Structure 1
Amino acid sequence: MTEDEAVQAMLDRGTRPLEPFPGTQLPWKCRCLTCGEVSSPRYNDVVNKGTGVCGKTCRSRKIAAQLTRDGATAAAVMLDWGWDALEDYPGAGKQWAARCVHCGVIKPKKLAHVQRGRGGCTSCAGRDITDEAARQLMAKADLQPLVDYPGSLQPWLCRCLRCGHIGTPTYAKVRTRGHQCWSCRSEKIADALRLDEEQAIASMLEKALDPLVAYPGSTELPWKARCMTCETVLDPGPTLHNIRGTQGGCPTCAERGINPAKPGYLYLVVHHTYQALKWGIANTEQRLSQHLSQGWELHARWDFDLTGDAWAFERQVKAWVRGQGIPRALKADEMKYRGHTETAFLSDISLQLVQKYIESLIGRSPDVPPKA
């Protein structure tokens, strides 16, 4: 390409070169034939890419033209964001008086801010509410503020005028949901969950349990009962909370899990790779086989006529170990067949010490003693 051809190409596109042609990829000082401003576009950008020849006034006008909206379009955008324009569109970047369609407050807004999500109503958000107005709203909700208004989203120390308790609801939550009080809420939930004795007995009978004493009055208290299927007396019995949940009724009749009325055993196993020990109970040999298949080795075992007795010892072992501040060794995903809550690292407590403690509880040596 000759310099004359390059110059003509730039002239055809509205700019006059002011210096020799530097090449297609380098800035070339030119004067715009439209506005007269001097800038330095690249030949390749102007001719091959079609970008503008003027980087000054013409470029600014082009951008402004792209951003310019007519008044109707601008007003529609404002309305979409919750603002009703009260005057003609003043232009981009200028304050525009508008009314909030939700609360009616009039605010000066900029179209660009509203479009970018920065044009929310501070009155609706409670940020420009006065202390007096905030107190009036709280009083209507039976709440007495004890300190100055801290802001709509901050805890506000108040006294409940219904029960007298002190709490810290927020202005925003009270404005949206009404009365807020932890004490009143707790009583409301308790009333909804409270059962009379007839309803409580019906719940027990649904799970084939015959209550042997009067309803203790709480869903969290054990209730002595007799299983109507196997005649087992459950003392202490299940809580009504568990009965009405998914835990069922009589553990002796349970189709899954450990049956406390059947023979079982307490075991102590060790995993040398994990450098951890584990204790547990079971009804069947399958449970122990599951652990052995995962690399655990049997260290000791105590057999019982009733698994319920082994269960009591297992709980005591756990309380003793955890009471010394020793954490569990493994996580749930590290044990395919569960039982991670009954583990401890050998570095925290020795296998022999745990065995000795179990022997002291049960009063006898293991039925399956450690290997020599």
Structure 2
Amino acid sequence: MPRRIDPEVAVAIMRAAGLEPLEPYPGANVAWNCRCVKNEHKVAPTFTSVRIGTSSGCRHCGRAASGERRRAAGRERAEADMRAAGFEPLEPYPGAAVRWRCRHVACGRTVHPRLFKIRAGVGGCRACAGRAPVDPAVAEAEMRAIGMEPLEPFPGRVRDPWKCRCARCGHIGTPTLNNIRRGQGGCYACARCVR
């Protein structure tokens, strides 16, 4: 036979959970009309659900607490993603699509990237864009793949002009590796002939 709960003990447990009973103790598994001390909402949890912790008692407070736990987990992951990309957050996480004030670890500048762009591999520090080190052998292979033969060593940055000769027409030009990677052709003379 189940053990009977002392009504005074039940009331004390409900009050400790932030609920003020509005009626006498009805039984362990019967909805008990109460008022949430925090937000004044009327709720009706069972004593058992509050006692064993499956319910906070107030569904409004429970939802708010659940949402805060999800947001906290999202904040931790967001900060970890930003740090992994080389940015130190300088303010609390504002949301994935909102500009987030951070310090770019590589150059020390204060920047405002959006987390969703960082996660997509885009964005970050505009001042450092195009300055990432590129292997000269890879750069030369990319130029040769589009029919341009480098006439001088790789200049070191993807946005710097690079003197090359077109293997098709022999024209000497100065395309940038950045433009090549964007899909632009390397030879201005050949591009004019195609029109």
Same fold (TM over 0.5): no
TM-score (norm 2): 0.43
Q: Which has the larger radius of gyration?
A: 1
Higher strand share: 1
